[in-house]
Amino acid sequence: MKLKWVDILLILLGLFIAYQLLRAIFGGSWQTESLIIALLIFNLGLTWKLSIGFERLNMKLEGHILWHKAVESRNEK
């Protein structure tokens, strides 16, 4: 599986936020509001990434279904 720059960016952001979350649990780090905003932005990035993946899958399925329709129409003639 090929990692794209968006995947790498999300992984790095997720690791950094996890590090900051652990620092906040064990004392001293970002303010709580900053941590919550970072988690929301991370969630938004993951949601965006998943929606792009579903769109690509949908395009592949549509192409596959159209192929089946073309084969069926050739067989009916």
Tell me what percent of the residues of the chain surpass a pLDDT of 70. 95
Question: Is 6 domain-assigned?
Answer: no
Percent of the chain with pLDDT over 90: 0
Tokens of 68: 């089946």
Cα torsion through 27, 30, 31, 33, rounded to 10? -130
Q: Is the pLDDT of residue 2 over 70?
A: no
pLDDT attached to residue 6: 77
User: What pLDDT score was predicted for residue 3?
Assistant: 65
The number of distinct structural domains making up the chain is 1
Q: Is residue 57 part of a domain?
A: yes
Per-residue pLDDT at 15 exceeds 70: yes
What's the one-letter identity of residue 39? L
Taking phi over 0 as left and psi of -120 to 50 as alpha, with beta for the rest, 27 belongs to left
Find the mean pLDDT for residues 31-40. Answer: 84
In a domain, 49, yes or no: yes
Show the domain range for 66.
30-77
